[in-house]
Amino acid sequence: MKPGGAVKLMVQMANVLNRNGFAVCICAGEGSFSSMLDQEIKQFGCDLNRERGLAIKLRTYIKTYFLLQRIVRENEINLIINHHRYFAPLLFLLRKRLKIQVIFNAAATFKKIPLLRGSIFGDKVIAVSRGVKEHLMNNFRVSESVISVIYNGIEPVNLKSEKAKEKLKNELGIKTDKVVSCIGNFRDLKRQDFLLRAWRMLINEHQDSHLILLGYGETEQKLKNYVRENAMGESVSILVDSHEPEEIYNISKVFVLPSEREGLPLTILEASSLKIPTIGTNTSGINEVIDDRVNGLLFDMEDIERLKEAMISLLYDQQLNSRIGNAAHAKFVERFSIEKYSQAILEYLN
Rounded Cα distance between 57 and 188, Å, is: 25
In the chain, CATH 3.40.50.2000 sits at 5-154+338-349, 162-335
Task: Select from 223, 154, 153 the least CA-distant residue to 186.
Answer: 223
3-class SS at 48?
A: coil
Q: Are 16 and 341 in contact (CB under 8 A)?
A: yes
Each residue's pLDDT, cut to its tens digit, for the chain (350 residues) gives: 456 677 888 999 999 999 999 999 998 876 667 788 999 999 988 766 555 565 657 788 888 889 999 999 999 999 999 998 888 888 999 998 999 999 999 998 888 777 778 888 999 999 999 999 999 999 999 999 999 999 999 999 999 999 999 999 999 999 999 999 999 999 999 999 999 999 999 999 999 999 999 999 999 999 999 999 999 999 999 999 789 999 999 999 999 999 999 999 999 999 999 999 999 999 999 999 999 999 999 999 999 999 999 999 999 999 999 999 999 999 999 999 999 999 999 999 98
Rounded Cα distance between 12 and 154, Å, is: 8
pLDDT at 6: 77
pLDDT at 110: 85
Q: How far is CA 153 from CA 95, 108, 268, 335, in A?
A: 29, 15, 11, 8
pLDDT at 1: 45
Rounded Cα distance between 89 and 245, Å, is: 34
- Topology adopted by domain 5-154+338-349: Rossmann fold (3.40.50)
Q: Does domain 162-335 have CATH number 3.40.50.720?
A: no
Task: Select from 245, 253, 305 the least CA-distant residue to 278.
Answer: 253
Rounded Cα distance between 326 and 282, Å, is: 21
Phi first, then psi: give them for residue 247, nearest 5 degrees. Answer: -65, -45
